[in-house]
Chains A and B, each alone.
Chain A
Amino acid sequence: GAVVSQHPSWVICKSGTSVKIECRSLDFQATTMFWYRQFPKQSLMLMATSNEGSKATYEQGVEKDKFLINHASLTLSTLTVTSAHPEDSSFYICSAVGDNYGYTFGSGTRLTVV
């Protein structure tokens, strides 16, 4: 079946630094990738939708200059949290959709900003 690899699984960084999270579709071409964020005891909230080769579409309230998304190829999308602050600490999950492949989630990245 379809597999999406996301890494790192967890990361601790200092406040003010940037963190890059990668999401790769291993055995299919992901025409669309979604980035979600989940705070403790809350549901997944869509942050942005990215299509290969075009700019990401951000949900209301998500700062595009803070959460940089790049979807340069059909198998890779990256999310960079710039100038991270403690309130950015969360569980970030990507999901990929491809032709003949439904939603496949990455395993998530737990970000802790100290």
Chain B
Amino acid sequence: RKEVEQDPGPFNVPEGATVAFNCTYSNSASQSFFWYRQDCRKEPKLLMSVYSSGNEDGRFTAQLNRASQYISLLIRDSKLSDSATYLCVVNTGTGNMLTFGGGTRLMVKP
């Protein structure tokens, strides 16, 4: 079983749609959680950290369920510019090491 699992997609949605991505992680000792965005042939860029209480940044909402070892990302009012691969990332706390999920590809169509 992979340490961090995501549905690879692609998710094809029209502009303005709401889309949700899910992620599960296997290490219950994981300490911090993130969503990164990666554009084609570019480095990943931090989208947002994920907190147990849930957090929102504009159109983006992230949720963490430690009991189920599950993380989600909700994007409201999708824009064409949201098209990218979204990476679920977990820090197990061992040497600051990040473990990346396989990524979920989002394509927003006009």
A36 to B103 Cα, complex, angstroms: 15
Shortest distance between the CB of A8 and any CB in chain B (Å):
14
State whether A91 and B41 are in contact (beta carbons under 8 Å apart), knowing that A32-B95, A43-B87, A97-B96 are contacts in the complex.
Answer: yes
Specify which of B43, B46, B101 is in contact with A107 (CB 8 Å cutoff): B43
Which residues on the B side are within 8 Å of A36 (C-beta)? 100
Query: Do A42 and B98 touch across chains, with their CB atoms under 8 A apart?
Result: no
Interface size class of B (residues with CB under 8 A): 10 to 19
State whether A93 and B46 are in contact (beta carbons under 8 Å apart), knowing that A34-B97, A49-B97 are contacts in the complex.
Answer: no
Which residues on the A side are within 8 Å of B102 (C-beta)? 42-43
A18 to B95 Cα, complex, angstroms: 29
A111 to B109 Cα, complex, angstroms: 31
Which residues on the A side are within 8 Å of B59 (C-beta)? none
A34 to B99 Cα, complex, angstroms: 11
Q: For residues 35 through 78 of chain A, which have their beta carbon under 8 Å from a beta carbon of chain B? A: 36, 42-46, 49, 57
State whether A105 and B95 are in contact (beta carbons under 8 Å apart), knowing that A43-B87, A44-B100 are contacts in the complex.
Answer: no
A110 at interface (Cβ–Cβ under 8 A)? yes
A56 to B102 Cα, complex, angstroms: 25
Which 6 residue pairs across A and B have the least CB separation, nearest first?
Answer: A105-B43, A43-B102, A44-B100, A43-B100, A108-B43, A97-B96
Q: Can you name 15 extra interface pairs (CB under 8 A) apart from A105-B45, A106-B43?
A: A36-B100, A42-B102, A43-B87, A43-B102, A44-B44, A44-B100, A45-B100, A46-B98, A46-B99, A49-B95, A95-B98, A103-B46, A103-B98, A105-B43, A108-B41
